[in-house]
Chain A
Amino acid sequence: MSKRTALVVLSALVVCIAVTALWVVWINGRGEAPVRPRPASMPGADAALIARGAYLARAGNCIGCHTARGGAPYAGGRPIETPFGDIYASNLTPDVGAGLGAWSADEFWRALHHGRARDGRLLYPAFPYPNYTRIDRADADALFAYLQSLPAVAQANRPHALGFPFGTQAALAVWRALYFRPSSHTDDPARSPAWNRGAYLVEGLGHCNACHSARNALGATAGPLDLQGGLIPVQNWYAPSLAAPHEAGVADWPAAEVVRLLKTGISSRGFVMGPMSEVVGSATQHLHDADLAAITDYLQALPPSPATRPPVDAVAARSERGAALYRDHCADCHGDRGQGVPDAYPALDGSRTVTMASTTNLVRIVLEGGFPPSTAGNPRPFGMPPFATVLSDADLAELLSHLRGAWGHRAAAVSALAVARARSGSGR
């Protein structure tokens, strides 16, 4: 290669990089209206607006991430664990130094809609602004009014613990150029008002797909409309597909049971456990019946996908040992035929948690036990004991494989290795 060709190639490369960089910068700031700073004196918002904001904050479960375990509400500090490192949720109380005390309504709107902080920094999408971008301005203002009405807590934000290059603004700008566009919710006139309200809540404020969607190697989902299920990174719970009939689709449920599940944590078709227990306990149980019905409308109308269950190569074999383990450890509560006890213990016969392709939740629930949430509609839920200290990996695999072949179930066996992995992955 002559010197001249090398120079040409090099120049072309430099131009390419420069153009890409300019595109990344441009796309990250595109469509942002100038923000007005906070006025020197901000009049207090009226009580109705604050109450509406409080309701919306519930719907978005803001408190869930923005409160450390045992910490002051909304003062931040909870680590959001990601494969790229820990992101610490920020202080949303109106403390001037540590929280949102110096923010204006415009700046708050820009954070939700464009994912940009008051000082201009780009925000990490662990704060689900790919969903919140669909929240409308009036709701954003109500949320802001509510957060500004909270008692100020002077708890400084903890710096994120992200590995290089994920901790840099440049990496974040590239991520956003690839995966984030500000957008908004527009009603579909072909659908009912309830469906549209459901879409607004599920795709936006509720950020359901932050869990119920698979993430790629860079942590991006296929977008707020994708509810096809995914493993929650690091937490290692599988958030089942809300569209697939063999996972957590609710198209064939009585609508009232979907509402009951979201309102109380239990239903005749299944109970919530794990992270969804937190969601029902601190968010959905507080929603108005009309909003729960709207969410139900939307979820029941999701196109079933994939409509048919993936074929199973070999259905798990029932076994004497598995049946004996079931009799000794499970049948007292779940019944000798897996029929459960209404409102206390879920039926295992026909349970999708038992038969789902992903056995992550099934293994974890048996290892760690758990409760559905205490809610106004079910204040004293019945609990499941942890069996981590009782059953060996081999016994647990035997038991679960038996259940996955029993009562007409047609799911694959669970290996002792899968149980061992779950045990070590959850720190025991």
Chain B
Amino acid sequence: MKAASRRLGRILAGTLLVVAAAAGAAPFSDSMAQRVLACTGCHGPQGRAAADGYYPRLAGKPAGYLFNQLLNFRDGRRPYRLMSELLAPLDDAYLKAIAEHFAGLELPYPAPAGAALPDDRLRTAVRLVRRGDPARSLPACASCHGEAMTGIAPFVPGLLGLPPDYLNAQLGAWRAGKRQAQAPDCMAAIARALAPDEIAALSSWLAAQPVPQPARAAAAFATPPPIPCGGVAESAAPPAATGR
């Protein structure tokens, strides 16, 4: 009798599991992952291409960088209405918690999708990434984004694992003043100094690089950053304007 009821219990439990799986719904959990479904709906777990552009991956990016971007969208330095409106009612403490949630996710990167570059473009890209161009006061990308180009915690993002169109769009937006960061806006100065064909070469090269697994950001700058960046120096303190 006891054994029979245990078996019945197992069958019932099994049926329930099957029903839950068929419904495909993750049960509600009082968690950050549940709270930020508003983000992952567009960004997906690893970034997602949509009809209106590319929603970059959030998982594993440095927390300070993500927090700065959330502030930049909410406070109008990065103009994208959908993001600005979504974040408008959220305070600094919550945005920080959201940034830390995504920074803590470790998900594998897909294989790079980039095509092979012609030799001259390849040389241009590698030169800019590794050495920069001292004649134009252009620092090497790697001097801030890390030797492995996987970023430097907590403020500098990695540049690998992103599609070339997204990288082109960001550098273009910085050149045109459509994307801004806290002053001094180092990336705006760098993007303005780069020629369009250099931007294209960099984007293609970056997108073609395999991403090391795990793609962790370096813990700290090995040498001080070559140029001052508002997003790196002062962003630990949220701007006074919008805290409540």
Contacts and interface: CB of A to CB of B under 8 A. Distances in A.
Interface of A: 67-73, 265, 277-278, 280-282, 331-333, 341, 344, 368-374, 379-390, 426-428
B41 A385 contact: yes
Contacts of B75: 69-70
In order of increasing CB-CB distance, the 7 nearest A-B pairs are A383-B38, A385-B41, A70-B75, A277-B89, A69-B76, A373-B89, A374-B94
Contact of B89 (A68, A374, A388, A428): A374
Contacts of B74: 69-70
Interface stretch (B28-36, B170-178, B187-195, B213-221): B28-36
A428 B82 contact: yes
A265 B34 CA distance: 18
Nearest to A384: B38
B34 A382 contact: yes
Nearest to B34: A382
B37 A428 contact: no
B244 A389 contact: no
A373 B88 CA distance: 8
A379 B89 CA distance: 11
Contacts of B133: none
Contacts of B82: 368-369, 386, 388, 428
A51 to B, nearest CB: 17
Contacts of A369: 38, 41, 82, 86
Interface in B91-136: 91, 93-94, 97
A374 B36 CA distance: 13
B77 to A, nearest CB: 6
Interface stretch (B56-64, B145-153, B234-242): B234-242
B81 interface: yes
A398 B188 CA distance: 44
Contacts of A71: 241
Nearest to B182: A70
A91 B84 CA distance: 23
Nearest to A328: B24
A73 B38 contact: no
Contact of A73 (B25, B97, B240): B240
A386 B90 contact: no
A383 B241 contact: no
Given A73-B240, A282-B244, A379-B94, A370 B85 contact: yes
18 contacts: A69-B74, A69-B75, A70-B242, A72-B241, A281-B244, A341-B28, A370-B38, A371-B38, A371-B86, A381-B35, A381-B89, A382-B35, A385-B39, A385-B40, A386-B86, A388-B52, A388-B82, A426-B81
Contacts of B89: 265, 277-278, 280-281, 370-374, 381
Contacts of A68: 76
A426 B39 CA distance: 20
Given A281-B89, A371-B89, A383-B36, 7 more contacts: A67-B241, A69-B75, A265-B89, A277-B89, A332-B26, A372-B89, A380-B35
A344 to B, nearest CB: 7
Contacts of A277: 88-89
Interface string B37-53: 11111100000001110
A386 B38 CA distance: 7
Interface string B201-244: 00000000000000000000000000000000000000111101
A281 to B, nearest CB: 5
A374 B90 CA distance: 5
B90 to A, nearest CB: 5
Nearest to A282: B244
Contacts of A372: 89
Nearest to A386: B82
Nearest to A364: B85
A368 B85 contact: yes
A368 B34 contact: no
A58 to B, nearest CB: 9
Contact of A72 (B41, B84, B240): B240
Contact of B37 (A70, A385, A426): A385
Contact of A278 (B41, B50, B88): B88
Given A341-B28, A368-B85, A428-B81, A73 B36 contact: no
B81 A427 contact: yes
Contacts of A72: 240-241
Contacts of B84: 69
Contacts of A379: 91, 93-94
Contacts of B25: 331-332
A384 to B, nearest CB: 6
A265 B94 CA distance: 15
